[in-house]
Amino acid sequence: MAHSAPAIGDDGAANGFTAVTAKFTALKKAAAGLMEEADLVAERMRSDARASLKLADLCTAAEVDPKHIAAVIEIGQAFDGAVHGCKGLQTAAEGVLLAAGHAGSEHQAEYGAVHEAVTSSPARQARAGFYRPF
């Protein structure tokens, strides 16, 4: 399982411009990975659902007890339910991916020029929060 970054307010000094940018990038990467994994699971479940229906047809042709055929069909329906769950998970992960991308862009737009100016100056800068209004 991948390492998840702590909340932004959790790690004090690691809340600089580049650290926050890295956190948004990590969040986007994790969301993209989740979308990909959910797609793989959905495809496996789709395949298993098709196999269950095929098995139910074979059981019917073999005149298997109807309660067993019903159980096989129920299993296929459960696989279909898992496919729908994966689609919901993909939609949620896509929302996180888009939101993290938007937040990263907003962060860059808001603080990118300030970060560039601070890092290009040889003068030592005050710590974040020093210039807060009283």
Is residue 3 domain-resident?
A: no
Domain of residue 26 covers: 17-118
Tens-digit pLDDT string for the chain (134 aa) = 556 655 555 555 677 888 899 999 999 999 999 999 999 999 999 999 999 999 999 999 999 999 999 999 999 999 999 999 999 999 999 999 999 999 999 999 998 888 888 788 888 877 767 777 66
Is residue 26 domain-resident?
A: yes
CA dihedral 83, 85, 88, 89 (to 10 degrees): -100
Is residue 73 domain-resident?
A: yes
Is residue 76 domain-resident?
A: yes
pTM for this predicted structure: 0.74
- Please state the domain count of the chain: 1
- The string over 78-101, giving b where at least 16 C-beta atoms fall within 10 Å of a residue's C-beta and e elsewhere, is ebbebbeebeebbeebeebbeebe
Give me 34's structure tokens: 């989740």
Is residue 129 domain-resident?
A: no
User: Which residue is it, tokens 């962060």?
Assistant: 107
Residue type, 108: Q
